[in-house]
Every structure is written in structure tokens, then in C-alpha cells.
Amino acid sequence: MGRRRGKEWQREVLEHYHDRYNRPEFIPDDPIGLVHAFDDPRDREIIGFWVAMLAWGRRATIIDKGEQLIEAMGGQPYRFIMECGNCTDTIDRELGQWKHRTFNHTDTRYFLQWLHWYYHRHDSLEDAFARYLSPDSQNIEPALRGFHDYFFSLPDAPHRTRKHVATPARKSRCKRLCMFLRWMVRQDDRGVDFGQWQRIRPDQLCMPLDVHVERVGRSLGLLRRKQCDWLAVVELTDNLRRFDADDPTRFDFALFGMGVEGVEV
């Protein structure tokens, strides 16, 4: 890498595009916009988690499916979970035809069942992740591993649903979970992420690594690992810590935005 493409050049590119894309104007075209429709933190984290788990494919389709899900829940996700999350007849009636790609009714039933079980014992989904972290955890890997096992701990958990909730134990990038945790944990004055969770630190977050972030990360010299797996996530995140040790995933806005818009560097 020549002088022009050294660390300072990388910093300039990251900061420029972070400032460009970390803005409320981009919310309506992103799945996080569905989360912004709610004021109750429990509604936010329920819809945020579910929509994040659906986040593959075209963003417009993801948003459309999320809107259908919210409508089927009567616009009150937490109330629906608490009152109907374990009611097979209601679930079949309201959500029997709802699906997204390979996420089908079996998966929907289990998500609702687990959330019903969980929220009758806890006030926030934060504990399902934070319980596996310690202050000296370098990143969220223990939280992701622990959450996966916890989520599938109910005796009738369908094996097929496991493909929808990733874990580093399978070397997965865990892109969707990393994105969801960014939404819940990060907080700044930009108005995009929520920062409603306090037991996970922003410096522990890891980059949501999708095809856009991967391509731009490689072009910037921030990602060299050939396999696009969990170790690649760690490599990219660690390299971004050189530019902001306290909040490395804020550069997700830059890399993803550049990738979507086809910015060449």
C-alpha cells in the first residue's frame, strides 16, 4: 500500500463516509426504520431482533415482510408476545401465511414461543446476551455463543430453526446478530442507533460483515482473510479499532453505505 493509501488515507475515507451515511435521512430505506416506529424499548428490541434475523435479500423486501409481521401483531409486538406468544390457534390465524424466504411458520412459532417464555421471566432481551459477557470480554463472541444455546434451550426447539440464528461456534459471520446488537448498544448524537442497552459496551461490538462491507473492507486494505467467516469479522473489527477504539462499529455506516452505492476507492 502506497503512501496515499496509508492509515491516514483510510481514516479520511472512513470518517468522510461515516459522516455521510450515519444520518436519519437513511433510516426510511433501512430495516432499522421499522424499529424507529416504536417508543417502548421492549417493542423495539423484539422487532429489531426479528427483523435483523430476516435481513438477507433486498432491503425493500425485508422492510415489507417486517411491516406485515408488525401488522399481524396488531402493531403491539410486546403485547402480542405476552398474550398470544404461546397460543397456537392465534399464531396460526394471524401469522399462518407469513414467511420470508426460508423462514417459515415452524420458525415463526418457535420465535414467538421462546420470546413468550423469555419475557415472562425478564424485562429486556439485553440479559439474554449480556449474561455471557464479562467486563474483560474483548468482543461479543461469548454473548453470541451463549445466546444461541440459550435461544434453543427449550425442549421442543426445531432443528431447522437453528439456521436462522447464527453462532461463532459454527464459524459464522453472525452478520444479523452483530447488526442487531449495534442497533441496541451504540449511541451517538446522529439519531440512528438506539443505545438502549447499557451492559454491553460499544467497544465490544463486532462488525456486521455482509457482501457490501466485505468488498469495501478489502478495497480499503482492512480485510485480508480469504474466508468470510467469524475470524474475518474479528480481523476487520480489530483493524477498525485503530481509528476508534471505543466505537469501531460506527464505521459500519461508511463501509455498508459505500458498498450499497458502489463507491470505488
SS3 letters across 82-143: HHHCCCHHHHHHHHCCCCECCECHHHHHHHHHHHHHHHCCCCCCHHHHHCCCCCCCCCCHHH
**The amino acid at 222:** L
Instruction: Provide the pLDDT for residue 2.
Output: 41
Phi-psi region of 30 (alpha: psi -120 to 50; beta: other; left: phi over 0): beta
Please give the Cα distance from 215 to 258 (Å, whole number). 10
**What's the distance, Cα to Cα, between the start and end of the chain in Å?**
13
What is the full per-residue pLDDT of the chain (265 aa) written as tens digits? 344 679 999 999 999 999 999 999 999 999 999 999 999 999 999 999 999 999 988 899 999 999 999 999 999 999 999 999 888 999 999 999 999 999 999 999 999 999 999 999 999 999 999 999 999 999 999 999 999 999 999 999 999 999 999 999 999 999 999 999 999 999 999 999 999 999 999 999 999 999 999 999 999 999 999 999 999 999 999 999 999 999 999 999 999 999 999 998 8
User: Measuring CA to CA, which residue among 207, 191, 184 is closest to residue 130?
Assistant: 184
Q: What is the DSSP letter of 17?
A: H
Q: Supply the pLDDT for residue 3.
A: 44
At 86 the pLDDT is 86
Q: What is the pLDDT of residue 4?
A: 60
pLDDT score recorded for residue 5: 73
**Residue 85: what pLDDT?**
84
Q: Give the global pTM.
A: 0.96
CA triplet 242, 243, 244: central angle to 5 degrees? 100
**Rounded-to-integer distance, Cα 51 and Cα 180, Å:** 9
Q: Do the Cβ atoms of 101 and 57 come closer than 8 Å?
A: yes
- For cell 416506529, what's the residue? 37
Q: Which residues pair with 103 in a beta bridge?
A: 100
- CA 93 to chain CA centroid, Å, is 29
> What residues does each domain of the chain span?
32-165
Q: How far apart are CA 199 and CA 178, in angstroms?
A: 15
Which distant-in-sequence residues (6+ apart) come within 8 Å of 103 by Cβ? 53, 54, 164
Q: What is the pLDDT of residue 1?
A: 37
What would the grid cell of residue 167 be? Answer: 453462532
Q: Strand runs (DSSP E) across the chain, as ranges?
A: none
CA distance 259 to 55: 16
